[in-house]
Amino acid sequence: MSDVDINQRIAALVGQNDVVLFMKGSALFPQCGFSSRAVSILDHLGVTYETVDVLQDQDIRNGIKAYSDWPTVPQLYVKGEFVGGSDIMMEMFESGELKQLVAADA
């Protein structure tokens, strides 16, 4: 699959869902402590979100790093915008910013 195709697939995932978490594993069975932390934050906010398991898709796993210019997973997108990884999610959760972000015109 070409880079262009992968970017289009990622853009579609990000565009079709208000809150998307690219992660290792699933929301029920996260395969990494950072992904687990990201899921816990979203669950705590009570927001509806979509997850993409990068372990199931090598193209997405590599592609998302280039797409976001971000070297690690998890990665959160809200309303088409890249928000950050689990450290930024935690900071924004603690400050209340993340709640505002996902709640705005939801």
Q: Does 13 bind other proteins (CB under 8 A)?
A: no
Question: Minimum distance from CB of 12 to other proteins (Å)?
Answer: 22
Q: Which residues ranging from 54 to 73 are in contact with other proteins (CB under 8 A)?
A: 65, 69-72
Tokens 């280039």, residue located: 66
Can you say how many angstroms the Cα of residue 90 is from the centroid of all Cα atoms in its chain? Answer: 13
Can you say whether the dihedral through the CA atoms of 10, 11, 17, 21 is positive or negative? positive
Which residue's CB is nearer to other proteins, number 51 or number 86? 86
Retrieve residue 59's tokens.
């193209």
Which residue's CB is nearer to other proteins, number 42 or number 83? 83
